[in-house]
Amino acid sequence: MSDHYPIFLNLEGRPCLVVGGGRVASRKVRGLLDSGAHITVVSPRVTEELEKLARQNRIQWIEREYCEQDLAEQFLAFVATDQESVSEAVLQDAQSTSTLVCAVKKESQSHFQTPAKGKVDEVQFAISTGGQSPSRARELKEKFLADLKAQSSPDSSSDSSPHPQNWKSPARSGHVYLVGAGPGSGGLLTQRGQHLLDTCDVVYYDRLIGKEIINSIPDSVEKIYVGKQKGHSRPDTGELLAQAAQKGKAVVRLKGGDPNLYGRGGEEMTDLLYQEVPFEIVPGVSALTAVPSAAGIPVTYRNLSREVVIRSGYRLPDPESDRLQKPNAEETTYVYFMTVGRLAEIVEELLNYDQLPSETPIAIIQKGTLPEQETLTATLGTVLDIADKTPLQPPALVIVGQVVHFRNRKSLLNYLKTVEPEFTRSGWLSASEEGPSP
C-alpha cells in the first residue's frame, strides 16, 4: 500500500458532514469548528455538547439516520459511529460524489485518516501512523508538544518535578492514569478525567463508580471490573495496570472520589513504581466536601468549625481508647490552607502543641494544579530557613507528615521498607474490600 500524502487543508467556510452523535463525533466537531468549517451532524441522538452547539446555530443537526442525500455537496465526511454498516454505506455512496470520507470503523478503506495534531504559537504539526497505531501517534505528539513548549519558555519554572499536564493532552500509550471519578454523579467528573476516558485504550473500575460515568466511556474502550466480588478473591489491580501499560496500552484506573483520599491511590502508585511504569494522578472531587455540600451542609464555617479531622470508618478503634480522642502524631497528616504569612506559627504549633519531631517532613505546594505549580520540601526543623530564601506566593497549601516521602519517588520504596519491614508490593491492596467513596 502506498504512503498517505500529508496535507493541511483550508476548511474555512467549506461544508463538512459528521455522521454520528456520540463522543467521537463531538471530538471531530470540535476540530472542524477550530478550522472554520460549516458543519452538519446527522444522527438520531447527539451529546449534550452537540445539542448545545446546534441551539447556538454553530452547527446544523439533522435528527435522523444517515441517507445518501446527506453527502451531496459535502467537501469532507467523517463517520463517527461504531456501526460498520453505516461506515460501509457512506463509503459506497461517496464513490459517486467528490466527497472525501474518513470512517473510524473502516480506516483501511477510508480516503484519509485524521492525524494526532498539535500547535504551539505559529508552529502546527500532525502525526499519522496510517491508522495502524493511534496511541503511538498520540505519544509522539505529546513528546513534540513538550519539546516545543520547553523551547518557547525554557525558564518558566524552577521546580524540577513534572507539572500537571495540559488537560487536553490525550492518554499516552504505556502510561497509567489514576483518575478520580468523584462521588458518583457524572457531572462531577473533571474535564481531564473525561478526556482521558475518551482517549485511553482500557479502563479498570470498581463498584464505587457511578453508572452514568461508566456509560459515558466510548464503546471502543475496553472496560474491566476489578472490584471485590462475593466468593472471589480481589484481583491484583496494580499488577493488571502494570501489565497493560507494559503492552503499550494507555491505561486508566478509575477510582471513586479522589484517588489519594482513602482511595488507595498511594498503594497503587507504589505498585507502579516497583514495575517502573510511568503514571499520572488526576485529582477528583472528593466526597469529603461534595457529599455534605450536596446536602446543604458546609464542613467549615466561621466561629462554628475551624478545622476538619478525617478518619476512615473501615477500622474503628475502641471507643474507650485514647487514640480516638487524640491522633497519633506519627500517623497523622496535617493539611493547612491559607498559609502565606503564617508559616512560623504553623511550625511552632506542630512542634510544640502536636509534639512532632523536628525531622518530620513538610511540603509547601504553591499554585497547585496550575502550570506554574512549585513544591518546596523540607523538615519542620529546616523549613523556615529554606522559606526565607524562597518567598511563598499565594495560594499555598502545607502538608506535614510521613506521606510527604511520596514526593521523592526514587527513595520512597526504600523508606517504606525501613518503616514497615513486612511491607511487600500489593500488600495493602488485597487487605480489604473497597471502603466508602472518598
**Residue 206 known to be catalytic:** yes
Q: Exactly one of 198, 201, 206, 271 is catalytic; name it.
A: 206
- Helix, strand, coil percentages (3-state) for the chain, rounded to 5, are 35, 20, 50
DSSP state of 90: H
Give bridge partners of residue 349 from the DSSP assignment. Answer: none
**What residue type is 208 in one-letter code?**
L
* Interatomic CA distance for residues 44 and 21, integer angstroms: 8
* Interatomic CA distance for residues 285 and 291, integer angstroms: 10
* Interatomic CA distance for residues 354 and 289, integer angstroms: 25
* Interatomic CA distance for residues 270 and 410, integer angstroms: 11
Residue with C-alpha cell 484481583?
235
Q: Under 8 Å CB-to-CB from 111, ≥6 apart: which residues? A: 94, 100, 101, 102
Q: Exactly one of 228, 236, 354, 367 is catalytic; name it.
A: 228
Whether 12 and 35 have beta carbons less than 8 Å apart is answered as yes
Distance set, CA 216 to CA 20, 66, 195 (Å): 15, 23, 11
**Residue 105 known to be catalytic:** no
Cell of 122: 505559529
- Of 369, 365, 361, 375, nearest to 159 by C-alpha is 375
Return the active site residues: 206, 228
